[in-house]
Structure 1
Amino acid sequence: MKKIITCLFALVITSAFSQTFNTKRLDSLFLLLEKNNKYMGSIAISENGKTIYTKSIGFDDITASKKSSINTKYRIGSISKTFTASLIFKAVEENKINLNQTIDRYFPTIKNAKTITVSNLLNHRSGIHDFTNDPDYLKWNTQPQSKAKMIERITAGDIVFEPNTKGKYSNSNYILLSFILEDIYKKSYGEILSQKITKPLKLKNTYLGGKISIENNESYSYSLAGKWEKESETDISIPLGAGGIVSNPTDLNLFIENLFAGKIVSIEHLNEMKTIKDKYGMGILEFPYFERKSYGHNGAIDSFRSIAGYFPSEKLALAITSNGMGYDNNSILLCAFSSYFHKPFVMPNFNTVSITAETLEQYLGTYASLQIPIKITISKKENTMTAQTAGQPSFSLEPTAANIFKFDAAGIVMEFNAEKKEMILKQGGKEFLFKKE
């Protein structure tokens, strides 16, 4: 599902900051989401280092009816990469590592290790395959893995391209960076994170995760398939600094504010982190909108989804962490920033229609597109239609018309034409034509 569903950080911002923040609009959205049981998570917005809005809805543990609060902690997935990149640059400033050194001294068995540099790992230009794309990944991701086993798994994959010839996102890069940090400092990744970042910044809710602890104000994650279903837990020995950190929105805002203030690494090194090649910086992604640019990262692990972003010119930070999505995080961002910049926003409509099983039957099958290299299988479970891409979990589609279905968690709309055996997928303002095989 991750190949189709990406957090599209699409914020349209065209006006200067207004002194009044429209809290009622954002409150109304969360009230609507809570009323329709569409979302669980937390948000925090900060300006000039001061929190101007926080909100939390849903449950840390549905079975125990433990409601979430602004103190709830979530797995933040790949936002962890921004922390890891910062730690690497701190190591550079301590003269413990050089960005241009090759990784063969750490990982002699990895293909092209003599030409892959630390810099290539940081900006996804190594050509090392992403082990999370392995067909059997979901068969072992809940089991502890040793460093040796993870290196073995990463080494076993084919080279995707020659080092530094292009960029392609790979979690493997940041697993290896985590191991390099442990080798440099002779400490565990969690200890390094605490010593170098979380303790100095007093990020009391941020640390390398472990087994989820509800007693420690952590949350389980849930997928929505008619009802909330508890998701399995990826063992943190696997993602480490690529996706294993736990945090909450307030801490994430504090982290990114300090990063851009030059209080974690130097401004010179921050500028290196912000330099984009083939879509990727070094632990930072760029999100340009008209004359403005924001920087940050998104994250996904199990059914947790998160986004952290920062607009330097406005000194505006926003973070969202969710443990259950039936509504797109990007749409919440749009509402948040429309509330800040006083731009229009249309509230979602969660009304659905009833579709007969006979009508659903005509849409079932596998669809392929010439525009994007994926296939989508449309199936029926009882009287609910589901969609699934190869190797990914299925997700339920809600009908809004006899031939139109939606998946709010990813902002996806599918429009079917049974006579032509076609389906148009709409997401993020783009349309893709699929033909039934």
Structure 2
Amino acid sequence: MKTKLTFLLLFSIFQFIFGQEISGSWKGELNIQGNKLPLIFHITKAKDGYQSTLDSPLQKSIGIPVDITTFGNNNLSLEIKALNAKYQGTLKDEKISGKFTQNGLELPLALTSEDSQNTNIENYKFSQNLDESVKKINLFLDYLENKNYEGGAISIFKNGREVYQRKFGQENLPQKDQNPQILQIGSITKTMTAIMLFQLIEKKQLSLNDKLAQYFPEIPNAQIITISQMLNHTSGLGDYAMGPQGDERWLQEPKTEKQILDKIKEQGSLFKPGEKVQYSNSAYYLLTKILEKITKKTYQENLRERIINPLQLKDFYTAGEKPKQVAESFTFTNKWTFVKDFDFNNVVGVGDIATNPNNLNIIINAFFNGKLVSKSSIEQMLPKNEDNFGRGIMQVDFLNKKYLGHSGGTYGTYSFMLMNKDDNFSISYSLNAPRVSSKNFITYITNILYNKDFEYPKFNETALSEADLQKYTGEYSSKSIPLGLKIFIKDGILFAQGTGQPEFPLEYVKDHIFTFNTAGLKIIFNPEKQEFELYQKGSLFQFSKNR
């Protein structure tokens, strides 16, 4: 999916991953012949990348300009010409490890975020009393349900068997079916697509080095794009799920294969294949079509033959099967409001599957146990080095623990299918009514499983009148990013909408503070100065009302 500079970095449909963020203050200590010298780098998002300053508190030097700040693929590079100094490091698990050089002297320097809330979490161990942890999870979900904070379903496996499963919050939602059996899983579908393609590779029907041109020669750069690059999001192809300005959610309505292929060709190549990583729904749409071409079977038929039947799964459907009892999606704007989702026939193999979390755990356990692909294929699918993306498998970290699997997001339902190999447990869930964001939800659950204390989430139930909201409305712009932001009232609710992006509701917290938790976004208004501060993923953007 996507690369606009702003909220869509978090909204991008079907991606819904939690990439590591570099913006913020990073502190470390140089050890110079037994003497410790604290250094603090303050990194902020700029129009064309990042900018930063350096503080050396012991030397009483504050705000030293950093001339060059670059960050990509989790690698940070800083250059301070006035000090003839450089720093290069790699970000992993909320820590940057690297080397600081000055005038020929090279010293190790590890930086940690001053904003990090995960200090000393490496000491937490997986629960030795699962029965007690399950009770705590049940109490937590009771709380969310009773407070009308969340709706979804969850399953947890330990040592290959299910130890917990529950649907929650569904009866609070104004949906046709108060007892839905399955939920949309979004981009977790891509893992199924990748597994089936590797099954073809094992049978020599396909190769990672095959070129896209063998199947779709009309696609830009098809002669040099490989199957491998399409699988690991380095192909340079775009995101057909993102429609043009004014019709961003164009896939809500039925589209033909020709219309989608035309959109992929129109978006062209964003960069030279293999040059960098950028999530691509377009690549997986084409991979699905390649699977169908090689096997001469539909995606639905392949899925049943290669995954559903071997694992004896029930309630596992593609869009073509027109599944029933699917949970509808909702967003909260003083009340639960229905979210119109994709016509999922537009995203077959990309994000169309509907199922339950139990099935997802069965699949991820079967995958790592070699029941779907060989050990060699598993290794080729996993992320390498510092990459978050492998070939159909991604890596995320919670409580400094590594999880492998995939995330998924539609217009209103957010999912995860994850395996922690070290502690041999998996967790899968789908949230079709999220007030607590997906990232926060899994953080709460893992806190319980690792015996880490935390506070239950709280939301302000106070609703402001339209007269109270009126002072926030208007057209805003920022000097930091080329994005206009419109704040307006609809149906008594405050909404925001970026230029060329979908609108989204803002939930009142207190004292001119509003949030959109699905994207981890907070806005603090200053009505008197006619401006606001927007915080997202550690970045701060200042907006002023257009005059």
User: Is TM more than 0.5 here?
Assistant: yes
Which residue does the alignment assign to 2:291? 181
Query: 1:288-437 residue pairs with structure 2 within 5 A?
Result: 288=397, 292-353=401-462, 355=464, 357=466, 359-369=468-478, 374-381=483-490, 383-428=492-537, 430-436=538-544, 437=546
Counterpart of 2:239 (choices 122, 125, 130) is 130
8 Å contact from structure 1 (residues 131, 137) kept in 2? no
Quick one: percent identity of the two aligned structures?
Answer: 31
Amino acid at match of 1:194: R
Q: Deviations over 1:128-172 (max 9, x none)?
A: 121122216556423433333322221122321111111111100
- Contact 2:535/2:541 (8 A) holds in 1: no
Q: 2:141 aligns with which of 7, 10, 30?
A: 30
Decide which structure has greater strand share: 2
CA distance in 2, matches of 1:42, 1:374: 36
Question: Deviations along 1:36-62, whole A, 9 cap, x unmatched?
Answer: 323221011111111122121233895
TM-score, reference length from structure 1: 0.90
Residues 1:118 and 1:432: Cα distance change in structure 2 (over 3 Å): same
Give runs of aligned pairs for residues 187-266 of structure 1, distance below 5 A. Answer: 187-210=297-320, 213-214=323-324, 217-266=325-374
Residues 1:97 and 2:206 aligned together:
yes
Any idea what the Cα deviations from partners look like across 1:66-86, whole Å, max 9, x if unmatched? 3236xx211111011111111
Question: Could you report, residue by residue, the CA deviation over 1:166-224 in whole angstroms, capped at 9, with x for unpaired residues?
Answer: 1111100100000000011000011101111111011212231247544xx32222233
Offset of residue 99 of structure 1: 0.5
Measured against aligned partners, the alpha-carbon deviations of 1:241-278 in whole angstroms (never above 9, x if no partner) come to 11011111100011111111222112222122112475
Q: 1:424 to 1:61 in 2, by over 3 A?
A: closer
Q: TM-score normalized by structure 2?
A: 0.73
Structure 1, 4-13 or 351-360: larger mean CA deviation: 4-13
Contact 1:126–1:162 (8 Å) recurs in 2: yes
The structure 2 residue matched to 1:43, chosen from 140, 150, 154, is 154
Change (3 A) 1:373 1:182: farther
How many residues align? The count is 432
Distance verdict in 2 for CA 1:105–1:38, change over 3 Å: same
Q: Which amino acid is the alignment partner of residue 49 of structure 1?
A: G
Q: Deviations over 1:311-365 (max 9, x none)?
A: 1111111111122222212222112111111001110112344545555333323
Aligned residues of 1:297 and 1:309 also touching (Cα < 8 A):
yes
Q: 1:60·1:220 contact (CA, 8 Å) conserved in 2? A: no
Counterparts of 1:356 and 1:63 in 2: how far apart (Å)?
Answer: 24
Q: Which moved further from structure 2: 294-303 or 59-68?
A: 59-68
Contact 2:318 2:354 in 1 (8 A): yes
| Deviation larger for 278-287 or 87-96 | 278-287
Matched residue SS, 1:183: helix
| Alignment CA distance shift 1:231-1:360 (3 Å) | closer
- C-alpha RMSD over aligned residues: 2.6
Equivalence for 1:16: 125
List gaps (5 residues or longer) in structure 1. none
Name which one, 1 or 2, has greater alpha-carbon Rg.
2
Q: Higher relative CO (CA 8 A, sep ≥ 6), structure 1 or 2?
A: 1
Question: Are 1:57 and 2:160 an aligned pair?
Answer: no
Tell me if the contact between 1:91 and 1:97 (Cα under 8 Å) persists in the aligned partners: yes
Report the residue type matching 2:315 in the other structure.
Answer: N
Q: Check if 1:87 corresponds to 2:93.
A: no
Shift in alpha-carbon separation, 1:327–1:115, aligned structure 2, 3 A: same
> Taking structure 1 as reference, are residues 307 and 225 closer, same or farther at Cα in structure 2, changes over 3 Å only?
same
Structure 1 residues 421 and 273, CA gap change in structure 2 (3 angstroms) = farther
Contact persistence 1:213–1:219 (CA under 8 A): no
Instruction: Tell me if structure 2 keeps the 8 A contact 1:167–1:279.
Output: no
Deviation at 1:301, TM superposition (A): 1.6
Structure 2 unaligned residues grouped into runs of 5+: 1-6, 21-92, 94-117
CA distance in 1: counterparts of 2:271 and 2:139, whole angstroms? 48
With over 3 angstroms needed to count, the CA separation of the structure-2 counterparts of 1:162 and 1:9, relative to structure 1, is closer
The CA distance in 1 between the partners of 2:403 and 2:439, in whole Å, is 14
**270-279 or 166-175, larger mean C-alpha shift:** 270-279
In structure 1, the partner of 2:254 is 144
Q: Which residue of 2 aligns with 1:67?
A: 178
Alignment CA distance shift 1:144-1:354 (3 Å): closer
Classify the secondary structure of the residue corresponding to 2:344: coil
